[in-house]
């Protein structure tokens, strides 16, 4: 992973937002989707926004009524308020049911091909309110940076436009890049405008994706976490829309669900105390497991496309893959049934997961049956390999003859196959029964078609192998040992894929000009060149540091001090200037002298201390620190695969002395005297 870099506006970049691969800052992804486009998905999102607003209104009314109920002692008023509360609670329940139905609209997000596939569960995007940052950021720039806030209106508006665009990302790679781009800009916003000791005074409002309940916080971490959630949700929508009847479509679906699992898992591990239920640890654990299960389902479908259907070992592998899918969906169902989760997860989701668990258990027994019944007995050359595979196939060995006899005797194979089919039919019927309990799933024709087809196929096969002269009682088939040949991978977001440049780079390098640093008011000093030059030593780049001042020299008499940073020379901004550029400006001064603008960081004691700090900030490998919700420090280790952002700065410090007209008495390494 390549770490994002803080670059000079005079470098190769144009100061805009830059992709690692693709167009520069004028890319179409900054526009988002047309919010007025009448697609099925946009209509759902509009309905979600409307329901969220109504829930917000009803909750405010309920809070006011509850306060009045507690405050009043008038019996009649209490009765009236109690009646109003029952009305409001009834409205909230209806809105909750409407939102649940909306979250259950899985068919809208599925692909439109004619192939029959079991629907996947996608997530709707979290909604947010518009945010006006113009005044707060302008005020902060004036107060903290000592510059005219009005000069940065263009940058502030560009950031607000980016935020507005990311509210409606397109359901493709450009939409993902848009969310990543905005998240990366939040790092710079955090560093520039959110000091550790105070807030900016703005609230970030987001609605819960599952319940519609509004939440707000001043912490920028809430904004970051919500964007991350939407990144995962968008991956689920992209995964659900793939045509899983083809190998490329399956691979894309697998990748999308793995990326979604990675986003939710990163959110769970790095953000805590989220104010909304959909971002709680329990909810995110459930979502990660759901995504992993959907990946496993796609892997099974991929196996059915790749494996030869008439091969004994291939059918055993399919049976074990199906058992693995059943296993992971059972775990998801257990997670959804937990007390802190079941109250807000849509009933259709819980039912769908349970249906899939039963359906794939039935499929595992079906493929075991056709492996035994449709494939011929093994030859002597094949027997050893089939014995080895069958030895690890069942959880417990089936009753009856030895394994070798079982595999070589067609009648024994038929008996065991019949037992597996009997269990498959029972599980198919259980899946159909659970499916019938949910009104929303009953409306899903494609799911009904899949379940019905699988059930009829098992019945047909059972009728085919069932003989009238069978007087033995069909035994209980043992469960199949779950096994997969492609373990799902939880892919953490790779935000370095979309490289951005700080919109507010004109404020200066973040190593100095950040919200956490404080400095004394800028000073303008007029210097005349003496016989031995100006009498100071310079070090580093962007900005250049005054590392030493010669006692009694011109610089000392003018009031320059060790630890000062040069921010301008003769009115030219030098915050981003390289060492050689500042030297050239100083050399070009005549007898009239030079005006130098400098600042001094508060708390800086000596140039050596400043150099140590600069060396730490210039280091290519920072310390790894979890981006907890209420922590605003984002030093990331570029080698960690689990980091969300890898923010480090290339060394800006000059490695050699570049210019001097006088002896280097008492001048340290890497310093030059002028």
What is the signed CA dihedral for 455, 456, 462, 463, rounded to 10 degrees? 160
Please check the confidence at residue 294 and state whether its pLDDT lies above 50. yes
596: β partners? 525, 569
Q: Which range scores top for mean pLDDT: 105-109, 212-216, 329-333, 518-522?
A: 329-333
**pLDDT value, residue 20:** 35
**pLDDT value, residue 645:** 31
Alpha helices in 437-476 (DSSP H): 439-442, 445-465
The percent of residues in the chain predicted with pLDDT above 70, rounded, is 77
> What three-state secondary structure class fits 79?
helix
d(CA 318, CA 306): 10
- Comparing 305-319, 453-467, 600-614, which segment has the lowest mean pLDDT? 600-614
Nearest Cα to Cα of residue 318 among 250, 384, 389: 389
pLDDT bracket for residue 426 (50, 70, 90): very high
**pLDDT value, residue 273:** 81
Please, is 377 exposed, middle or buried when counting C-beta atoms within 10 Å of its C-beta (0-12, 13-18, 19+)?
middle
Phi, psi (5° rounding) for residue 520?
A: -75, 160
Please, is 665 exposed, middle or buried when counting C-beta atoms within 10 Å of its C-beta (0-12, 13-18, 19+)?
exposed
d(CA 411, CA 406): 8
d(CA 85, CA 77): 12
d(CA 134, CA 22): 30
Alpha helices in 124-246 (DSSP H): 134-140, 153-166, 173-193, 220-240
**pLDDT value, residue 104:** 59
**Across residues 357-371, what is the average pLDDT?**
95
Q: Residues 204, 225: contact at Cβ < 8 Å?
A: no
Please, is 413 exposed, middle or buried when counting C-beta atoms within 10 Å of its C-beta (0-12, 13-18, 19+)?
buried
d(CA 320, CA 136): 59
Residues near 242 by beta carbon (within 8 Å), at least 6 away in sequence: 111, 249, 250, 252, 253, 256
Q: Give the pair of three-digit tokens for residue 478.
A: 């043992």
pLDDT bracket for residue 587 (50, 70, 90): confident
Distances (CA, A) of 190 to 498, 554, 564: 18, 40, 25
Nearest Cα to Cα of residue 222 among 266, 181, 279, 182: 279
**Across residues 334-349, what is the average pLDDT?**
89
> What three-state secondary structure class fits 668?
coil
Output the DSSP codes for 336-380.
HTSHHHHTTS-HHHHHHHHHHHHHHHHHHHHHHHHHHHHSPPPPH
DSSP class of residue 601?
B
d(CA 219, CA 658): 45
d(CA 499, CA 188): 12
d(CA 531, CA 549): 15
pLDDT bracket for residue 558 (50, 70, 90): confident
Q: Give the pair of three-digit tokens for residue 192.
A: 């520039």
pLDDT bracket for residue 398 (50, 70, 90): confident
What is the signed CA dihedral for 615, 618, 621, 627, rounded to 10 degrees? 110
d(CA 79, CA 386): 77
DSSP class of residue 478?
P
DSSP class of residue 53?
H
DSSP class of residue 438?
-
- Comparing 81-95, 252-266, 320-334, which segment has the lowest mean pLDDT? 81-95
Between helix 281-306 and helix 247-270 the angle, nearest 10°, is: 160
Q: Give the pair of three-digit tokens for residue 453.
A: 């087809």
**pLDDT value, residue 383:** 85
Is the previous residue joined to 543 through a cis bond, with omega within 30 degrees of 0? yes
Output the DSSP codes for 609-659.
HHHHHHHHHH-SS-------TT-------TT-TT-S--------S--S---
pLDDT bracket for residue 608 (50, 70, 90): very low
**Across residues 510-530, what is the average pLDDT?**
88
Residue given tokens 């390494």 in the structure block: 669
Please check the confidence at residue 310 and state whether its pLDDT lies above 60. yes
More confident residue, 1 or 294: 294
DSSP class of residue 141?
I
How many C-beta atoms surround the C-beta of residue 563 within 10 A? Answer: 23
d(CA 208, CA 218): 17
pLDDT digits (tens, 9 = 90+) for 49-84: 677 677 777 777 777 777 877 788 887 777 787 777
How many C-beta atoms surround the C-beta of residue 626 within 10 A? Answer: 15
**pLDDT value, residue 98:** 64
597: β partners? 524, 568
What does the longest C-alpha to C-alpha distance in the chain come to? 119
pLDDT bracket for residue 428 (50, 70, 90): very high
Q: Which range scores top for mean pLDDT: 29-43, 119-133, 655-669?
A: 119-133
**pLDDT value, residue 308:** 64
Helix (H) or strand (E) holding 322, with range, is helix 312-336
pLDDT bracket for residue 95 (50, 70, 90): low
Q: Residues 368, 394: contact at Cβ < 8 Å?
A: no
Please check the confidence at residue 246 and state whether its pLDDT lies above 80. yes
Nearest Cα to Cα of residue 390 among 381, 379, 380, 402: 402
What is the signed CA dihedral for 416, 418, 422, 425, rounded to 10 degrees? 120
Nearest Cα to Cα of residue 325 among 348, 349, 359: 359
> What three-state secondary structure class fits 328?
helix
Nearest Cα to Cα of residue 29 among 195, 222, 234: 234
**pLDDT value, residue 536:** 84
d(CA 523, CA 61): 55
d(CA 487, CA 19): 31
**Across residues 161-168, what is the average pLDDT?**
92
pLDDT bracket for residue 100 (50, 70, 90): low
d(CA 287, CA 40): 24
pLDDT digits (tens, 9 = 90+) for 611-654: 444 443 333 333 223 344 334 333 333 333 333 333 233 333 33
Residues near 388 by beta carbon (within 8 Å), at least 6 away in sequence: none
Q: Residues 276, 303: contact at Cβ < 8 Å?
A: no
Q: What is the mean pLDDT of the chain?
A: 79
**pLDDT value, residue 327:** 96
Q: Give the pair of three-digit tokens for residue 370.
A: 């056709």
pLDDT bracket for residue 458 (50, 70, 90): very high
**pLDDT value, residue 72:** 81
Helix, strand, coil percentages, rounded to 5, for the chain: 50, 5, 40
> What three-state secondary structure class fits 312?
helix
**pLDDT value, residue 74:** 82
Residue given tokens 């009115």 in the structure block: 571
**Across residues 547-552, what is the average pLDDT?**
86
């Amino acid at each position: 992973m390549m770490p994002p870099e803080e670059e000079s506006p005079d470098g190769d970049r144009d100061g805009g937002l830059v992709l690692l691969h693709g167009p520069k800052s004028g890319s179409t992804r900054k526009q988002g989707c047309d919010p007025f486009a009448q697609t099925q998905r946009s209509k759902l999102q509009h309905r979600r926004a409307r329901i969220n607003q109504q829930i917000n209104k009803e909750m405010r009314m309920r809070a006011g009524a509850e306060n009045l109920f507690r405050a009043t002692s008038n019996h009649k008023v209490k009765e009236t308020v109690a009646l109003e509360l029952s009305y409001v609670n009834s409205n909230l329940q209806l809105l909750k049911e409407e939102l649940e139905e909306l979250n259950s609209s899985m068919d809208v997000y599925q692909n439109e091909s004619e192939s029959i596939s079991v629907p996947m569960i996608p997530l709707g995007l979290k909604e947010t309110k518009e945010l006006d940052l113009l005044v707060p950021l302008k005020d902060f720039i004036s107060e903290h940076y000592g510059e005219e806030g009005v000069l940065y209106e263009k940058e502030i508006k560009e950031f607000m436009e980016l935020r507005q665009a990311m509210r409606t990302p397109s359901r493709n790679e450009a939409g993902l890049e848009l969310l990543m781009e905005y998240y990366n800009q939040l790092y710079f916003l955090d560093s520039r405008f959110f000091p550790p000791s105070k807030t900016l005074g703005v609230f970030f409002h987001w609605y819960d994706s599952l319940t519609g309940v509004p939440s707000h916080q001043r912490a920028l971490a809430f904004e970051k976490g919500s964007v991350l959630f939407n990144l995962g949700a968008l991956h689920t929508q992209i995964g659900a829309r793939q045509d899983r009847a083809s190998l490329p479509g399956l691979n894309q679906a697998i990748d999308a669900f793995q990326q979604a699992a990675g986003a939710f898992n990163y959110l769970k591990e790095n953000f805590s105390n989220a104010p909304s239920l959909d971002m709680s640890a329990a909810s995110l654990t459930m979502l990660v497991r759901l995504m992993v299960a959907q990946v496993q389902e796609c892997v099974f479908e991929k196996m059915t496309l790749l494996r030869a259907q008439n091969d004994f070992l291939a059918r055993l592998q399919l049976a074990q893959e199906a058992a693995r899918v059943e296993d992971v969906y059972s775990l998801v169902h257990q997670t959804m049934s937990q007390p802190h989760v079941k109250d807000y997860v849509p009933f259709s989701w819980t039912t769908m997961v349970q249906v899939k668990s039963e359906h794939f258990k039935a499929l595992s027994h079906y493929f075991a049956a056709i492996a035994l019944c449709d494939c011929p007995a093994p030859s002597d050359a094949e027997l050893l390999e089939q014995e080895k595979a069958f030895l690890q196939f069942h959880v417990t060995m089936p009753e009856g003859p030895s394994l070798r006899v079982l595999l070589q005797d067609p009648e024994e194979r038929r008996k065991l196959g019949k037992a597996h089919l009997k269990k498959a039919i029972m599980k198919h019927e259980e899946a159909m029964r659970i499916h019938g309990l949910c009104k929303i799933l009953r409306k899903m024709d494609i799911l009904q078609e899949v379940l019905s087809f699988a059930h009829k196929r098992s019945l047909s096969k059972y009728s085919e192998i069932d003989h009238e002269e069978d007087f033995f009682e069909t035994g209980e088939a043992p469960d199949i040992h779950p096994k997969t040949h492609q373990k799902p991978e939880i892919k953490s977001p790779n935000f370095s894929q979309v490289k951005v440049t700080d919109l507010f780079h004109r404020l200066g390098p973040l190593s100095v000009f950040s919200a956490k640093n404080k400095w004394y008011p800028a000073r303008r000093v007029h210097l005349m060149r003496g016989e031995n030059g100006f009498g100071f030593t310079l070090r580093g780049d962007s900005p250049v540091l005054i590392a030493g001042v010669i006692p009694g020299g011109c610089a000392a008499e003018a009031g320059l001090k060790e630890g000062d940073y040069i921010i301008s020379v003769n009115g030219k901004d030098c915050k981003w200037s390289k060492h050689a550029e500042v030297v050239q400006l100083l050399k070009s001064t005549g007898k009239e002298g030079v005006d130098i603008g400098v600042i001094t960081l508060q708390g800086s004691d000596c140039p050596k201390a400043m150099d140590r700090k600069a060396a730490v900030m210039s280091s290519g490998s920072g310390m790894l620190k979890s981006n907890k919700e209420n922590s605003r420090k984002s030093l990331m280790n570029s080698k960690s695969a689990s980091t969300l952002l890898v923010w480090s700065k290339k060394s800006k410090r000059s490695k050699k002395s570049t210019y001097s007209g006088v002896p280097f008495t008492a001048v340290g390494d890497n310093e030059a005297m002028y």
